[in-house]
């Protein structure tokens, strides 16, 4: 009986030593902290709003951009540098020009205060809805308290061919914006 108790105690001590090694040396502490308390990240939110100019016929598209950045805690389910896109309900461009073919190409670059490139992505869309794009970046990668967000947008709208017209008309808009924003703590 005593030998079984000694074996059980030895196994428990061996397991405790293994857990201790995992916790202290193999990333267990970080895993538990991320799972229970979250991980610090910088959330960069880009909001794009489009305004068609002159509805009949459509002549131009105005683009408005706002950028915010804040330090937050995120759970273990958040994927860093994977953009989360939320679209508005109304396709403003097709509302102004029914039957139009719409193409958006957005290139987003995010730099930290020291000039390190943190994010570089090109995205394509075929609807003229307002969009909000949120990007989570690990706070450990971000140096300083400011970000420079560079956005290049190419918009192509092919309007439907009117009766008797030789071919469809095309509107092309190119936008380049550089926005410097402070990172606020939430």
Query: What digits encode the pLDDT tens for the residues 25-60?
Result: 666 656 655 555 668 999 999 999 998 887 566 778
Measured distance CA(52)–CA(154) in Å, rounded: 15
Distant-in-sequence, close-in-space partners of 12: CB < 8 Å, separation ≥ 6: none
| CA distance linking residue 54 with residue 32, whole number of Å | 56
Alpha helices in 26-155 (DSSP H): 28-37, 92-96
For the segment 56-102, what is each residue's pLDDT rounded down to a tens digit? Answer: 667 788 999 999 999 999 988 889 999 999 999 988 888 888 888 99
The pLDDT of residue 165: 66
Q: What's the pTM value of the predicted model, to 2 decimals?
A: 0.77
Q: Give the H/E segment covering residue 7.
A: helix 2-25
How far, in Å, are 34, 84, 89, 159 from residue 103 at the CA level?
Answer: 40, 19, 17, 12
Cα-based distances in Å from 158 to 15, 46, 104, 172: 67, 26, 12, 9
5-14, 45-54, 135-144 — which is least confidently predicted? 5-14
* pLDDT tens string 123-139: 999 998 999 999 999 99
**Three-state secondary-structure class, residue 25:** helix
């Amino acid at each position: 009986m005593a030998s079984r108790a000694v074996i059980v105690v030895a196994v428990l001590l061996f397991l405790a030593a293994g857990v201790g090694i995992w916790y202290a040396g193999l990333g267990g502490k970080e895993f538990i902290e991320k799972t229970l308390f979250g991980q610090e990240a910088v959330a960069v939110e880009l909001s794009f709003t489009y305004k068609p100019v002159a509805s009949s016929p459509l002549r131009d598209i105005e683009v408005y951009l706002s950028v915010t950045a804040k330090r937050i805690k995120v759970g273990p389910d958040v994927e860093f540098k994977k953009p989360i896109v939320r679209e508005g309900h109304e396709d403003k461009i097709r509302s102004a020009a029914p039957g139009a073919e719409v193409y958006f190409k957005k290139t987003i670059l995010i730099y930290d205060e020291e000039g390190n490139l943190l994010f570089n992505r090109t995205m394509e869309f075929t609807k003229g809805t307002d969009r909000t794009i949120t990007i989570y970046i690990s706070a450990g990668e971000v140096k300083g308290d400011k970000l420079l967000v560079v956005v290049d947008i190419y918009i192509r709208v092919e309007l439907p061919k009117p009766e008797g017209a030789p071919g469809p008309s095309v509107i092309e808009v190119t936008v380049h914006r550089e926005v410097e924003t402070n990172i606020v703590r939430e």
